[in-house]
Amino acid sequence: MQESKVSFPAAFKLFFTHYVDFTGRSTRAAYWWWQLWEFLISLLLAGGLIGLFFTGLVHIGNIAPVFWVAFAIVIIALIAWGVGTVVPSYALLVRRFRDAGVSPYWVIATRGLPMVLGQWFAINPDAAKMFSGSAEHIYNQLVVSGDLVRDGLLFLAICLLSLFEFVVTLLPTKHRSDDEL
């Protein structure tokens, strides 16, 4: 995919026509136009969900069955959108890294590592105990035990990896042969 100038509508088509293409390159324009598409569509779906939620709150106790049908449709659309764009989003990011001259294996670090660390935070058995009890207990859990330092360093690592990914997506095309990566 060596398009030099990608328009807003063309980015949508390119995203879905290169659905599982983890080879080749994607320009900055293709990447950022797609990010705008994804933002707008997600905003529309989330806005519909929020609108239905507040409509339900206003008419609580007197909700017509059509409301639940519309609510289900929006929820299913949000789930379908999320699931349907996971693989092509990773493919686009891999192609963007390659186009910027950065090894696409860095995507594993910038996306995979934060997911693994996030799950570690979520399933940490001490997390529930950490914020229960007296203020002195919480202080001991966070400061004395060293959990605050460890968790702070992990959070910093996640932030730095995200910043690295952002910077790479801003880099211009680096003209080199695909066999160098």
pLDDT at 101: 93
pLDDT in tens, the chain (181 residues): 444 689 999 999 999 999 999 999 999 999 999 999 999 999 999 999 999 988 888 887 788 888 889 989 999 999 999 999 999 999 999 999 999 999 999 999 999 888 887 777 677 656 555 555 677 766 666 666 666 677 778 888 888 999 999 999 999 998 766 545 4
Rounded CA-CA distance 168/92 in Å is 13
pLDDT at 114: 84
The encoded tokens of residue 61 equal 């106790």
Q: DSSP character for 144?
A: I
Rounded CA-CA distance 99/176 in Å is 9
Q: DSSP character for 179?
A: G
Q: How many Cβ atoms sit within 10 Å of the Cβ of residue 14? A: 24
pLDDT at 64: 83
Please count the CA atoms within 13 angstroms of the CA of 18 that sit on its side-chain side. Answer: 26
Q: Distance of CA 143 to CAs 104, 110, 137, 138, 150, Å?
A: 38, 29, 10, 8, 10
Residue reference for tokens 């693989």: 87
pLDDT at 68: 87
pLDDT at 82: 93
**What value, to the nearest 5°, has the Cα angle with vertex 100 and ends 96 and 102?**
95
pLDDT at 1: 47
